[in-house]
Amino acid sequence: MKAEAQITAALPRSTAARWIGPARLAVESIAVLGAAIPIYLLIKQAITPDLESFAWPPHWLPRNVTSANLKSVFELAELRSALILSVAVAAVAGLIATALGTMLGYAMARRERMRQAGMAGVTAARLLPMIAVALPLTVVLIQVGLYDSPTGMGLALIHAALAIPTAALTTYGVFAAIAREQEEAAFLDGASPLRIFVAIAVPQAKTAIAASLVLSFIMSWDEFGFALLIQVTHRTMPPLLYYYTVFGDVGPASALALVMLVPALAVIIALRPVLKSGLIAGTQR
């Protein structure tokens, strides 16, 4: 009787189990294809002449392969300087955001009032329409002489400001998990507050700090709105990509997009363990 009940209970489960594998495969295939097809088209457009990109009916496989588009990214002065500027802006923005965000995250982890203020600030910053602050910010940049700067430092400051909440939230959880007794022990051992932060807290948050550096780098790397508004003549890559697309230069635009994709893909692969750990879950709402 008992065994019978077990068998009947087990039956539907085994039927379900038989379908779970294929169902999962199907769902995953659709998801992967959805992401992969645009990237494939991008690659195809980047390595074929413009004419082929506009062919009708569209070719699924490249017929004439050319390296001209990719070469142009590194050879055309306009493209090359955009690439260099984007790297510079993203690097500076990433470093500033990570340095300040890490300190904010630590303060939030250790002071209840800072935590409340920090959380409120992050939420408020997200609710604020960006376009509302864009114009005043532009005015400020003009006043301090960083508007459309050839080094892109005005844009870097704005990107850093945008990325600070992410950096703070990414590191906050890790700092909060460090036992307070460790810091008290360090205090009794004779360490100053700065020393405690540098020698005890930061080393244990290394992974989170690296993650926030990468995240803020990427945030700046593909930021479009402020880049379009502020770097009017000295352009970074996203606005340039936009202009190329608008003017119908699909080949160079695709090649540029491909170059932009490289750090993002590298980051996703490098950060896989961090992403899996859920460390930065909740920082991107």
Partner 1 sequence: MAELEIRDLGRQFKSGGGVRGVSLSVEAGELFVLVGPSGCGKSTLLRLIAGLDYPERGEIRVGGRNCGDRRDLIAMVFQNHALYPHMSAFDNIAFPLRLRRTPKAEIQRRVADAAALAALQIDLARRPAELSGGERQRVALARALIREPRVILMDEPLSSLDAQLRGRLRVELKDFQRRTGRTIIYVTHDQLEALTLGDRIAVMRAGAIEQIGTPTEVYQRPANLFVATFIGQPPMNILRCRIRPAKASAAPPEQSVPAEPALEIGEKLALAMPFGMSGEVLLGIRPEDLTYNPNPDAVAFEAGFNRVEFVGGGFLAYATVAGQEITALLDQPVEPGRTRWLYAPRRSLHFFDSATHRRAG
Task: Provide, rounded to whole angstroms, the least separation between the CB of residue 194 and partner 1.
Answer: 12
CB-based contact 256:238 (threshold 8 Å): no
CB of 3 or CB of 188, closer to partner 1: 188
Query: Which of 218, 223, 249 shows the shortest CA–CA distance to 237?
Result: 223
CB of 139 or CB of 199, closer to partner 1: 199
Exposed e or buried b for every residue in 70-84, given b needs 16+ CB within 10 A?
Answer: bebbeeeeebeebbe
Which tokens hold the place of 148? 């459309």
Task: Provide, rounded to whole angstroms, the least separation between the CB of residue 274 and partner 1.
Answer: 17
CB of 108 or CB of 186, closer to partner 1: 186
Q: Provide the 10 A C-beta neighbour count for residue 248.
A: 11
CB of 59 or CB of 195, closer to partner 1: 195
Task: Provide, rounded to whole angstroms, the least separation between the CB of residue 201 and partner 1.
Answer: 10
Task: Provide, rounded to whole angstroms, the least separation between the CB of residue 172 and partner 1.
Answer: 19
Exposed e or buried b for every residue in 46-61, given b needs 16+ CB within 10 A?
Answer: bbbbbebbeeeeeeee
Q: 61's torsion region: left (phi>0), alpha (psi -120 to 50) or beta? A: beta
114 alpha carbon, distance to own chain's centre: 26
Would you tell me which residues interact with partner 1 (CB under 8 A)? 179, 181-182, 184-191, 195, 199-200, 203-204
Task: Provide, rounded to whole angstroms, the least separation between the CB of residue 187 and partner 1.
Answer: 7
CB of 29 or CB of 116, closer to partner 1: 116
